[in-house]
Copies of this chain bind each other. A is one copy, B any other.
């Protein structure tokens, strides 16, 4: 990606997303051509501004006269949509620049996605736009939709209705799928943008626009890469908590595979880095398309939830229990109902009903029973959100209950699942009409509530990195630099004869550790290059012989705890810091938390608290609590080290031993490029 120029920023996107006049370059009479479909979609959307078909043959297209070139058009043009073969695009862009067009969408494919030649062509075109101050979307994209301004420059066969959700996507096909889905889900969309190859305009500017767009209440993003820079960070820090934003990433596992090549790869994969960054920003990052769409529908109705105490109302034990299972999976709580609620339930329902959460109002529950239960439960101060489950039993008033659920207007989110098929069709249509989030399975009600809670609860932790002129780390001076910066590196003294050995051992005091002096050995513990727990002279001599009569000797630290602290520079993401359980099992247990630098001490403490080893360090399982301030300081220091030296790509402190007296870095591995 070329650097984002000022022109491709939010303030200038108005001519792209809300243009007054649009030229369609490559407009065609052939219904199979994209240029035909785009023009037709634009007409059918009911765009009130001026439309200019551009076509070399100057045909009459869809009843409109076309010009041979954009320069032949008299009035000013806000937006040009280009749908012609890649080879002809550059000349057309030059013509657009001459005509002082403000924005361009290049739908045509055949650029960076095809290889080097296409990439070169794309760069040339981006440069032209940049020089001319033109906003550029694409190339290789699906166009945009703005239902509020009745604009549709895509070649989509279906089109969404107007609504509060906006969506941008790095995959055009996902846009087509989501638009088609939006119709059956009756979810209205505001702005839809297909980013394509992101030659100039990327997610940062689009996000800023959408955060500032009063008509957008929910933002969805499908991405396969994320251009993380100071600008994006600043935008997210400023706006991400103001509107629910849900991202899904394609290629999580592919990221993982590439990364698995390097040693720490399995601890810090690029996807882990990206998800860490988004989490810190307060964005809800989901893993499956189902979760993505469930979240979209829920946020379209409810922005927030007051907490994680959920009530389940059901007309059947089984499905209620499945929802309950999902609660614990998502880390939500089953609300403890007040005595008053229990009393009210007892007054209104037969004795066989379950007056505790999950509230089972029995198989013959009518719409009135559901209404009563909703009224009682939503008034309970201990309840933050409601999952309502309905099964179609013989006495069930399916459509009438749908009316009750539809007319609910309380502040506490009410998410329902009507579990069945054929008989529920009409009810689900009703619910869709009123935008009441209703799903197919009990578990999905909880997926929805969990998404709401994630957005509400997420502490935004994003810090903006101060770009300083970082210097280069001299690997030869590794220990010197670490000690200078007060890293608690264990001291080892080189000994190469038995007399020396004995003197140093007595100076240090048993038990001692001998390590191989051969610096080329990477995993010292695994290869037998470390001999620990030497308690007397006999053992010392044997160990020394085993290591070849030359070794490093140091104090044996008594410790039951080994921790891991590492960092990795991820191109395009930043410095990811990892903390967790260490030792030879570090990767096996996978007990890690992550943050993107820069880190504050508070963020470091959150990192510690998120891990299992962190719970031990804080005093779980009867352990004495260790000094967490000191540890947080060490984490921040490591993140600082990574940032201060341009050439460090990876840091691995593993293990760091822990005891009452402090933390001891036993092995420090630093990779520079």
- A residues lining the B interface (CB < 8 Å): 32, 34, 37, 109, 113-114, 155-158, 169-174, 176-185, 222, 224, 248, 250-254, 256, 287-290, 315-319, 321-322, 324-329, 352, 363, 391-395, 419-425, 440-444, 510-511, 523, 525-527, 533, 535-536, 558, 560, 581, 584-585, 587-589, 591, 612-613, 615-616, 620-623
Contact = CB atoms under 8 A, between A and B. Distances in A.
Given A158-B392, A250-B325, A290-B290, 6 more contacts: A177-B420, A181-B422, A184-B425, A289-B322, A289-B441, A588-B591
Contacts of A352: 109, 113-114
A642 B648 CA distance: 55
Contact of A622 (B315, B441, B523, B536): B523
A218 B290 CA distance: 26
B180 A394 contact: no
B157 A392 contact: yes
Given A253-B325, A523-B622, A589-B591, A157 B394 contact: yes
A224 B318 contact: yes
A421 B622 contact: no
Nearest to A181: B421
A98 to B, nearest CB: 31
Q: Which of A180, A581, A589 has the most CB of B within 10 A?
A: A180
A177 B392 contact: yes
A378 B494 CA distance: 63
13 contacts: A32-B395, A37-B394, A158-B392, A180-B423, A184-B421, A250-B322, A289-B419, A289-B443, A290-B443, A584-B616, A585-B612, A585-B613, A587-B621
A564 to B, nearest CB: 14
A422 B184 contact: yes
Nearest to A187: B421
Contact of A288 (B222, B322, B536, B560): B322
A171 B317 CA distance: 7
A39 to B, nearest CB: 13
B560 A533 contact: no
Contact of A328 (B173, B253, B391, B533): B253
A655 to B, nearest CB: 11
B171 A421 contact: no
Nearest to A393: B176
